[in-house]
Amino acid sequence: MSAFEFVFTFYSVMLGLAAANVATGFADMWRERQVVAVGFCTPLIAGIVLLGVMNTWLRFWGYQDTEVLTPWQLIGIVALATPYIFISRAMFPVGGAGIGLEDHYLAHRRTILLVLALPPAVAMIRTATLLGGLAPDWDLAWTAFRFLGPLALMLFPGRSANRLGLAFILVWMIVGLFR
């Protein structure tokens, strides 16, 4: 097994855990839909997490010819993947809480949005460190919005503003998937 295959497997397991948590959360949402109001924000966050996982995985796949196994590499992987795992658990209330999913998101939105801004921040720091700076290109603009979008959304506590902001971030993530 090459160093890249080892690191990629480790990364895939971590990202897969986040995706599995989202899938389990969706199943729980469906099962409890008659009792707990779903709303729009939690499904939008779930979509953002899934697209974030896919974007991260595809971007890392592109580095297969240049990646080497170092402790910093593993620290970077954990720093990029752990926020998605956290969000994939934190976006759903503890079973039996009796709170609607959107109300749960709105009560914890600052934490969720702050953690959502971490992977692109880590990606920009990692890129700047490895390449000796950040090039003003499409990838930087896309990543910068992924960082700044959730932070800006923290300023707007309203339900409609969060629905709209999360929908825009979700669309941005879809666009980025095909970049």
Q: Region 33-62: what's the mean pLDDT?
A: 89
Q: Read off the pLDDT of residues 6-24 as tens digits, 9 standing for 90 and up.
A: 888 888 999 999 999 999 9
CA distance 27 to 176: 27
Is pTM beyond 0.75? Reply is yes
The answer to whether 167 touches 175, Cβ cutoff 8 Å, is no
CA distance 58 to 51: 10
